[in-house]
Amino acid sequence: MSGNGQAGPAAAGAVGTTAPEVPLLEVADLKTYYQVRRGLTERVARTPQMWVHAVDGVSFRLARGEMMALVGESGCGKTTTAQTILGMVKPTSGSILLNGTDVAKLGERQLRPLRRTLQMIYQDPYESLDPRFRVRESVEEPMLVHGIGSSRADREKLAVEALERAGLAPARVYLDRFPHELSGGQRQRVAIAAALVLGPDLLLADEPVSMLDVSVRAGVLTLLDTLRRDGDMGILMITHDLSTAARFADRIAVMYLGRIVEHGPASDVVRNPQHPYTKALLSVVPKRDPRERAAPQILKGETPNPIEVPSGCRFHPRCPVAVERCQVEDPQLRLPAAATSPAHQAACLLV
Amino acid sequence: MSLLEVSGLHVWFEPPHAAEVHAVQGVSFALDPGERFGLVGESGCGKTTTILALMGLLPPNASVAGEVLINGQNILAGGEDSVQAYRWKDVAMVFQGAMNALNPVKKVGWQIAEPMAFHDIAQGAAARKRAGELLELVGIPAAAGERYPHEFSGGMRQRAAIAMALACEPKILLADEPTTALDVMVQAQILELLTGLSRNLGLALVLVTHDLPVVAQVCERAAVMYAGEIVEAGPTEMLYHAPRHPYTRLLFAATPDLYGQDAVISIPGTPPRLDSELPGCPFRARCDVPLERCAGEHPELRLVGPGHQAACHRNELVEAS
């Protein structure tokens, strides 16, 4: 739990005078490895078992009313982190405290009532909604699963409320429509309403707008922003889009090969990046203004294979500023010397 | 004379049991060698249909009117027969999702060499050698041609798809959402490659995307399409700093920027259906500054500055005052 130990003083500084209440979500040194399948010959030959280090020691906290963005390239482990928190994948080690209860240690039956408190919004509303379900059925189904609402009329009332909170008003117009009769933005709002009916404390949103048209993205993001501000909900948004994260999240955590390499208030991470990987990522984000054509710092190749994680700092083979000791020493998250916020952390030996 | 000149391009689709859809409604633009031109807009605005028409690859239920001139020759004049002489040799295309359309059971090098034989460019060993050169051109070692698509990463597959499009040495490359499914770092690599190809080989590039920042960074000029029409076209700098159509302004406002401070606002409503004639301005229903005449009078694309055109009645008010 070394990562957590280091996070302690910085996090305490950031929280300041507020009472030491239990955070909504506290993930500590989470590791999720997948076994690499071996064929018969490999087993007979006793080739060593290999593991995909999808999530390799991730720690963070999320408070109510807060939106945190987990950003990184595909294969960095951001989706596996969300799936592990959700209980779809069992972690190899580490803890996931949801309102103080370690959900990583719970069995399927004990987990079930808790599932109400954490809900997921998927990337593609064209696939996450059943095409044969009317909006009414999509939103009422989670209530039936969790035994919410005493009668059909009661459930309808709750569904209408959730749809209107999700920005589909008047909701009665939408209740009997099928997904194919809705636009992409409307579908994603139905998916959000289906999560809202359970009154969750934590929403995990996996690339919630990347499949939507530019013109409606802002609307869905603003909705998520309103929900966490008014609804006292925490939102963990997984995205590869740094511009969206910068605009909507309070905090940004940048992941690389299963680890958080930089973490801090969104404006600090974007305007005062410390880790060389964050700097490179930010430099290649296209800007809206054609006059701002900065020289992008393009890293060669792609994220290495998470089966054979490089020694020392896992970013050193692609790092433009790596020195010799980066090959042997594995950097932990710490407050960089050039940080302007006490909550800013980077895992680099040179900061 | 421009390398490519599209004028008054119309495309209609006749779906079975449904009204005719007027997908492209009089699109015109021109392109010089080495120029990078962006075509942007929401899904369903006609961007992909426009470039498929340039390739003569529209489905059989589509009918096309207008002119597409390459070096002054109208390639659409004789239907399929005339397009075929130009397709791939003069104008080539990287399709949306091309990186996922490689044949999984054939080596990448073979897949690049195959069309060369079909177009009588090179055969056998010569074609394989040329395939290797093309791979090198897009930043992949020639030896990788002996590998299968599943051994390539997403970025490498997209590079291979670009190499394929370059096999017959086209003058014009049409790229449909070439970076949409890719990570930012890989996107930057592919955009750098496309920009380099246009600079070094004088390739004219048409970049079709919904991603305004990508166009802002890569293209010198761009056209914004809405409901099958170009509603504004000009230097990308002007589109961002001095947009003359509300749709362009709202599209930029709906796009978050890394350092942007202003609120990100979505555009209310949805684009109109194109299966019936629209009176007035097609953007009227979603416009934040409509005028009375927008309801009945269709605005024409007019010159509003050097190389800058827009189709909005408001520009005439500015001129009058």
Q: What is the mean pLDDT of residues A204-208?
A: 94
Tens of pLDDT, residues B121-145? 888 889 999 999 999 999 999 999 9
Q: What is the mean pLDDT of residues A329-344?
A: 95
pLDDT for the residue numbered B80: 78
The verdict on a CB contact (< 8 Å) between A217 and B254 is yes
Burial B107-135 (b: 16+ CB within 10 A, else e): bbbebbbebbeeeebbeeeebbebbbebb
pLDDT for the residue numbered A306: 87
| Residue span of the structural domain in which B148 resides | 102-169
Tens of pLDDT, residues A170-196? 999 999 999 999 988 999 999 999 999
Q: What is the mean pLDDT of residues B282-290?
A: 95
The verdict on a CB contact (< 8 Å) between A302 and B265 is no
Residue to test with chain A: of B177, B184, B221, B257, most A Cβ within 10 A: B184
Tens of pLDDT, residues B46-97? 999 999 999 999 999 999 999 999 999 999 888 778 888 898 889 999 998 8
Specify the DSSP class assigned to residue A194. Answer: H
Is the pLDDT confidence value at A113 over 90?
no
Chain A environment of B213 (Cβ under 8 Å): 243, 285-288
Q: Is B139 in the same domain as B186?
A: no
Burial B81-104 (b: 16+ CB within 10 A, else e): eebeebbbbbbbbbbbebbeebee
In sequence order, the 6+-apart residues with CB closer than 8 A to the CB of A181 are: none
Q: Is B109 in the same domain as B159?
A: yes
Q: Is B151 in the same domain as B247?
A: no
Using CB atoms, which residue from B186, B212, B257 is nearest to A302? Answer: B186
> Which residue's entry shows tokens 């495309």?
B11
Domain locations in chain A?
2-117+200-346
End-to-end CA distance of chain B: 36
Please name every residue paired with A121 in a beta bridge, in sequence order, or none if there are none: A205
Distance CA B26, CA B285 (A): 21
CA distances from A189 to A128, A166, A218, B139, B250 (A): 12, 6, 12, 42, 22
Which of B292, B153, B4 lies closest to A300, judged by CA? B153
Distance CA A284, CA A293 (A): 10
Boundary residue ending a domain (B169, B203, B219): B169
Domain A2-117+200-346 matching CATH 3.60.150.10: the answer reads no
Confidence of residue A296 (pLDDT cuts 50, 70, 90): confident
Q: Is B186 in the same domain as B155?
A: no
* Contact map slice: B 171-210 vs A, CB within 8 A: 183-189, 191-192, 210
Confidence of residue B34 (pLDDT cuts 50, 70, 90): very high
Q: What is the mean pLDDT of residues A119-142?
A: 92
Using CB atoms, which residue from B186, B236, B254 is nearest to A218? Answer: B254
pLDDT for the residue numbered A188: 94
Instruction: Indicate which CATH number applies to the domain containing B259.
Output: 3.40.50.300
Q: Please tell me the distance in Å from B185's CA to the nearest CA on chain A.
A: 6
Q: Is B123 in the same domain as B201?
A: no
Q: Is B184 in the same domain as B262?
A: yes
Confidence of residue A120 (pLDDT cuts 50, 70, 90): very high
Chain A environment of B184 (Cβ under 8 Å): 73, 240-242, 281, 284-285
Does a structural domain hold residue B25? Answer: yes
Distance CA B76, CA B55 (A): 9
pLDDT for the residue numbered B145: 93
Q: Please tell me the distance in Å from A57's CA to the nearest CA on chain B.
A: 23
Tens of pLDDT, residues A248-259? 999 999 999 999
Is the pLDDT confidence value at A5 over 50?
no
* Cβ-based neighbour number of residue B285 at 10 Å: 16
Peptide bond into A170 cis (omega under 30): yes
Does a structural domain hold residue B291? Answer: no
pLDDT for the residue numbered A15: 40
* Cβ-based neighbour number of residue A219 at 10 Å: 20
Answer whether B76's CB lies under 8 Å from B83's CB: yes
Chain A environment of B254 (Cβ under 8 Å): 214-215, 217-218
**Beta strand residue intervals within chain A, DSSP E:** 25-35, 51-62, 67-71, 93-98, 101-102, 118-121, 202-206, 234-239, 251-256, 259-265, 345-346
Is the pLDDT confidence value at B33 over 80?
yes
Does a structural domain hold residue B238? Answer: yes
Is the pLDDT confidence value at A17 over 60?
no
Six token digits for residue B312 = 């909005």
Q: Is A33 helix (H, G, I), strand (E, B) or coil?
A: strand
The verdict on a CB contact (< 8 Å) between B264 and A246 is no
Q: Is B161 in the same domain as B107?
A: yes
Which of B69, B256, B167 lies closest to A215, judged by CA? B256
Q: Are strands B62-70 and B73-74 parallel, antiparallel or unpaired?
A: antiparallel
In sequence order, the 6+-apart residues with CB closer than 8 A to the CB of B99 are: B154, B157, B158, B160, B161, B181
Burial A249-269 (b: 16+ CB within 10 A, else e): bbbbbbbbbbbbbbbbbbebb
Is the pLDDT confidence value at A92 over 70?
yes
Side-chain half-sphere of A170: how many Cα atoms within 13 Å?
A: 2
Distance CA B6, CA B27 (A): 7
Distance CA A256, CA B217 (A): 26
Confidence of residue B261 (pLDDT cuts 50, 70, 90): confident
The mean predicted confidence, pLDDT, of chain A is: 89
Distance CA B229, CA B124 (A): 45
Does a structural domain hold residue B286? Answer: no
Boundary residue ending a domain (B142, B169, B196): B169
Please name every residue paired with B175 in a beta bridge, in sequence order, or none if there are none: B94, B207
Residues in chain B: 321
Distance CA B233, CA B288 (A): 20
Boundary residue ending a domain (B225, B249, B266): B266
Residue to test with chain A: of B40, B45, B185, B265, most A Cβ within 10 A: B185
Q: Is B161 in the same domain as B15?
A: no
CA–chain centroid gap for B114, Å, is 26
Is the pLDDT confidence value at A10 over 60?
no
Does a structural domain hold residue B97? Answer: no
B259 touches chain A (CB under 8 A): yes
Is the pLDDT confidence value at B13 over 60?
yes
* Contact map slice: B 37-56 vs A, CB within 8 A: 42-43
Q: What is the mean pLDDT of residues B186-209?
A: 94
* Cβ-based neighbour number of residue A51 at 10 Å: 16
ipTM over 0.85: yes
Is the pLDDT confidence value at A13 over 60?
no
pLDDT for the residue numbered A20: 58
Number of domains comprising chain B: 2
Q: Please tell me the distance in Å from B11's CA to the nearest CA on chain A.
A: 23
Q: Is B139 in the same domain as B197?
A: no
